Amino acid sequence: MAKPNILIIMGSSSDMPKLEPAKQILQEFGIGFKVVVASAHRNPKKVMAVVKSADKNCDLIIAAAGMAAHLPGVVASHTTLPVIGVPIMSKSLSGFDALYSIVQMPSGIPVACVAIDGAKNAAILAAEILSLKYTALKTKLKTFRTKLAKR
C-alpha cells in the first residue's frame, strides 16, 4: 500500500523552526513529507513548479507564511489538493495579518487555517484528512488522542 505524503512549503527559511512541531507529528504518524522554501512574492515560478510536482506526488499541502501570508492562497490557486495554512507570528502585527490573509480566501479557493504558529495542529488535521484514504492512520490518531487524554 502507498504511504501518505505531504508537501510542507514556507515562504522563508526563517519560518523553519515554527514548522518543527508539524514535522515531528508527521514522523510520529509515519507520514512522508518534503519541505520546500519558496516565496510567493520573491519566487512565484518556483512556487508554481513545486505545487505542480506536489499534484503528482502528494496527498495534501501544508503552507506556512507570515506577514501578508499570500503563499497558502497562491498554492491553493494552483492545485485541487487540500491546503492547510499556518499563519506565522510576526513582530509588527503579532501574526494577525497572516491569519486574516489565510482565513479570508475568496470563494472557490479554500484554504483550511490553523492558529498562529499552529503547525502541530496543521499536521494533526492533515493526518485526520488523510485517514479517510489511509485507514491505518485512524488507529494512530486514536492512540494519539488516548495519550493526549492521559497527560
Rounded to whole angstroms, the Cα distance separating 113 from 122 reads 8
Per the CB < 8 A criterion, the answer to whether 87 and 95 are in contact is: yes
Per the CB < 8 A criterion, the answer to whether 22 and 28 are in contact is: no
For the domain made up of 5-150, the CATH class stated in words is alpha beta
Q: What is the pLDDT of residues 71-97, one digit of tens each?
A: 999 999 999 999 999 999 988 899 999
Q: What is the pLDDT of residues 11-61, one digit of tens each?
A: 999 999 999 999 999 999 999 999 999 999 999 999 999 999 999 999 999
Rounded to whole angstroms, the Cα distance separating 81 from 7 reads 10
Q: How do the domains of the chain map onto residue ranges?
A: 5-150
